[in-house]
Structure 1
Amino acid sequence: MKWKKQRESRKIQMKALEDERKNLAKIGWKSMGKVERDQLYKKINFDWDNMHKFIRDRIPSKEEYVAFELENYCVEKIKKTQKK
């Protein structure tokens, strides 16, 4: 029975971390200007086009890849600014 409580506790922790990450991504997205957003889209599309075929086959869709990369960039940007 202890493992059930641990599993539920871990689910709650993961949900909290996911919510925090989404909030950081929203803040990062709002802090970016239009030019920076356009440059980021171009970079992500370029990365997608130059990615090996066997890697692309493992990713469900281009839209999910773009969304994931945007979120990662925004979170990293906010973390860098918070460290300073």
Structure 2
Amino acid sequence: MNQLVELGQRVRQQRVSQALKQRDLAAKAAVSIDVLSALENGRSVTVESLSRVLAALGFADALVDLLPAPVPSPIELQKLAGKERQRVR
């Protein structure tokens, strides 16, 4: 199954389980009904629209949680350790 189609089905399932009509969720998410319909039907929407809809459904952190937290760079690790780099002789 196409990932956008599956995502749309999951969004629709959450909307229905929360007893929301499309127009109500669209208003709550500040997106048009056309955008919400496109999302639910597996068509492409902007990341901003997806984020708004997920937040309106109570999944505000869903997109952020998909990726691991950033790893500190070697320079940041040195700063955290409080050690200065030393020149090799």
Under a length normalisation based on structure 2, what TM-score does the superposition of the two structures give? 0.31
Under a length normalisation based on structure 1, what TM-score does the superposition of the two structures give? 0.32
Structure with greater Cα Rg: 2
Instruction: Specify which structure has the bigger relative contact order, considering alpha-carbon pairs within 8 angstroms and separated by 6 or more residues.
Output: 1
- Relative to its length, the structure with more helix (as a share) is 1
